[in-house]
Amino acid sequence: MRTATGKPVRLHELAYACRLYAAFTDFDRSITEFRSVVGPALDLGTEIHRHALLRWLNSWGCRQFEKKDHPLASDELKEWAGRYMVRLPPPHQGLAELSEDALNEAAEAYGDLKGRRASARDRGSRSHPVTFGATGAAKGLYALRPEALPPWDDPIRRHFCCDGSPGSYRQFLSSVQDQVRVLVQEADQFGIPASEIPKIVGPRTFEPPQARGRVLLGYNHEELRSTLRRRI
């Protein structure tokens, strides 16, 4: 993934963007609260964890998960987990280390989750299903594998020309993977191990297990914001 000017992101740019992200959004606090409930590992086989995930998705702007239908979405998560959890990367494997096959598996898991029911909304005399959607699925996968699967939302997808399909999610993962590898190479020139990058460039609140994912999330949000400012 590259910046709006077409250049790879540099460490100093990443550090600046992450500090802006932490200062001007409330997302950091909400994910910290979420992790305080589920601990370092989200277990979709546990009902408390599934409902904590749905509440966190609500706090991150996913309105499709209506509170009255959390039991429905919880059941969908449980069924999905039974099929796809074993196909996700190991919990502590980073995006830079994922193989092509692992990226393909993640995209397939995303596609299935994207189409699952999040809630049901009444329109007249009929009830219509509302799905997890592209944003809900990607954020759910990020909650499960914060080291490997970065989230996105509508503005990020538009900015990077992604249509929300499994193929575009696969492309997004590959782009961010390239970005991570460039950052690792730059850090190595300064004698900084890859594992230390979040501590160097991120605010002190960016702690494991979500540090690397939050660093890139912060950059993507602030890169988009700066692009919009240049267009005003």
Q: What is the pLDDT of residues 70-84, one digit of tens each?
A: 999 999 999 999 999
Position 202 scores a pLDDT of 66
Distance CA 92, CA 147 (A): 6
> Which sign, positive or negative, has the C-alpha torsion 47, 52, 58, 61?
negative
Q: Is residue 6 part of a domain?
A: no
Across the chain, what does the average pLDDT equal?
83
How many Å from the N-terminal Cα to the C-terminal Cα in the chain? 24
Position 220 scores a pLDDT of 55
Q: Is residue 3 part of a domain?
A: no
Q: Is residue 4 part of a domain?
A: no
Distance CA 219, CA 228 (A): 14
Position 1 scores a pLDDT of 40
Q: Is residue 118 part of a domain?
A: yes
Decide: 113 and 141 in contact? Cβ < 8 Å. yes
- Please name which of 162, 213, 174, 169 lies closest in space to residue 28, comparing C-alpha atoms: 213
Beta strand segments in the chain, E? 117-123, 126-131
Position 216 scores a pLDDT of 54
Position 72 scores a pLDDT of 97
Position 7 scores a pLDDT of 64
Q: Which range marks the domain in which residue 42 is found?
A: 11-224
Q: Is residue 76 part of a domain?
A: yes
How many structural domains are present in the chain? 1
Decide: 194 and 185 in contact? Cβ < 8 Å. no
Distance CA 139, CA 137 (A): 6
3-class state of residue 25 by DSSP: coil
Per-residue pLDDT of the chain (232 residues), as tens digits, is: 444 445 677 888 888 777 777 776 766 778 888 999 999 899 999 999 999 999 999 999 999 999 999 999 999 999 999 999 999 999 989 999 999 999 999 999 999 999 999 999 887 778 899 999 999 999 999 999 998 999 999 988 988 889 999 999 999 999 989 988 988 899 899 898 888 887 777 665 444 444 444 445 544 544 444 333 333 2
